[in-house]
Amino acid sequence: MRRYLLALISFALITACSSSTPMPEQEFVATPITKPENIRLFVGQDLGAVGGLAQYDNGYVDYFGHPAGITIYTSLQSLEGLTEKVNYGAGDNHANLYLQDPGYNGVDIAIGLSLVDQLDKVNSGELDANIVKFAQWMAQSERKIYLRIGYEFEGAWNGYAPESYKKAFRRIVDGLRKEGVSNVEFVWQSSGYEEERDDLLQYYPGDNYVDWIAYSYFNHDPKEAGKEMLRLAREKGKPVMIAELTPRGANLMLDDGKELWDSWFVPFLQHLEDNQDVIGIIAYINALWDEQPMWKGQGWGDTRLQSNLYLSGKWRRTIKREGWETTSTLKQPPIFILPEDYEEQKAARDKMKPNLTGNESQLQAEDAIPRGNVRIYPDSAAVGGKGMAYMYQTGDGLKFENVTQSNYIAVRYATINTGKIGLAVNGSRAYDLTFEGTGSWVGTYDMIEQQVSIPDGADVEIIFESGDSALNIDYVMFDRR
């Protein structure tokens, strides 16, 4: 893909390293790779987008926690952005900042390695010394590296000739293996658009050189995205990475969250479900594209998940519901501060549409049918200034009638207790909702979030029974994909 490094070559310093004879291709028997049990979530693709660092503290990590991995970009020609900061108009990149920050311990790295205008230099051996340097950097990183060699290989914007590309891919892999690098896996990534099997196979380096098969996913048809790459992955027994993922053209800060969730995120989640047998990693690009010079005016938009309250909530619950692997999770994220000209920007965007139907139902506790001792309590920290309290004896509870079909529930609560309370569906206790104390009966809230199975039209009760613990409830959210 061109997004990060199209402008790279005209700026890069050429490393003057040469070899008189090319390295021979090595015989190598690949070890079969098993897809991770759960999808691993990666986030990129620049320091500001990722965040979680002293100098970069308004990115994804600052609102959601550390993902399983992050994405960065470099080229074999210059290895820029690894040991020092670089910016070619697409945000700052400096991989060592991640390695030096304790918060990123255990967070893996997916590297997009550009080979634009470098294939001849790779294949002649001119860049062999950089392969050695790259190997040394990988080894000292002490984490798993997923190396996307010549990513989006068939994209016309890259200009890769198939035979030269395959030869370069193999030379890089052989060179890294020769240096004994054991913490790298090699990724073969297409653009994911309108793929033709025969065209793709012209670029295939061989089973012994590819650990992961990958593609990009932007505004693709979810039934067609990566279709042939997925088929090849199944045939060859390789796991799949969606290496670049973002709703191109959306403006998450200004667009209607429900509409965008339904139109882009839900089809993408269905794409994952349809291909859950092979997809092991997804890498979301959480960037304010329109403010980066390289992408300004190209229609990439603003895909920062934290900038939309509805979408950020859905994303957090999706991570939990789907069981995606991350490194850490923020239970109490900060509030995203909107810019002073937000209303003007929003009016200019002119995309808000009233009365949209979402797939999430947030119900105030005070609107439920109270049981036993339960009654309203006032609290300025509760949504609407009140909630429901005195749920402490057998039979006390809240009943929500005719609930929409849901596979996830979120309950905002306050309590000094740690324990559980029952969730009954159509009169029978079906789940224990477990919770930890918030330190107070009012003012300080936390969320119970749990996967459930509630049929459409069901009556649902939060009910106190013997062995349960008391809590106050602000609201209940019934959610589905």
Residues 6+ apart with CB under 8 A from 117: 9, 159
How far apart, in whole angstroms, are the C-alpha atoms of residue 339 and residue 217? Answer: 29
Q: SS3 for 127? A: coil
Q: CA-CA distances (angstroms) from residue 122 to 117, 130, 290?
A: 10, 10, 34
User: Helix 309-322 crosses helix 266-274 at what angle (to 10 degrees)?
Assistant: 20
Whether 148 and 187 have beta carbons less than 8 Å apart is answered as yes
Is beta strand 69-75 parallel, antiparallel or unpaired with respect to 40-44? Answer: parallel
Nearest to 44 by CA among 283, 255, 212, 204: 283
Smallest CA-to-CA distance from 108 within 145, 137, 140, 147 is with 145
In sequence order, which ranges of 241-355 are alpha helices (DSSP H)? 257-260, 266-274, 309-322, 342-349
Active site residues: 152, 244
Cβ contacts of residue 12 below 8 Å, gap of 6+?
75, 77, 78, 80
Q: What are φ and ψ of residue 70, in 5° steps?
A: -125, 165
165 near 211, Cβ under 8 Å?
no
What are 30's two structure tokens?
A: 């690949």
Q: Is 430 left (phi over 0), alpha (psi -120 to 50) or beta?
A: alpha
Alpha helices in 306-456 (DSSP H): 309-322, 342-349
Give the DSSP H or E segment for 135: helix 128-141
DSSP string over 31-49: PP-PPPSSPEEEEESSHHH
Q: Tell me the helices (H) and strands (E) count for the chain, helix number first.
A: 12, 19
Both structure tokens of 419:
């324990």
* Type of residue at 153: F
Pairing type for strands 386-389 and 375-378 reads antiparallel
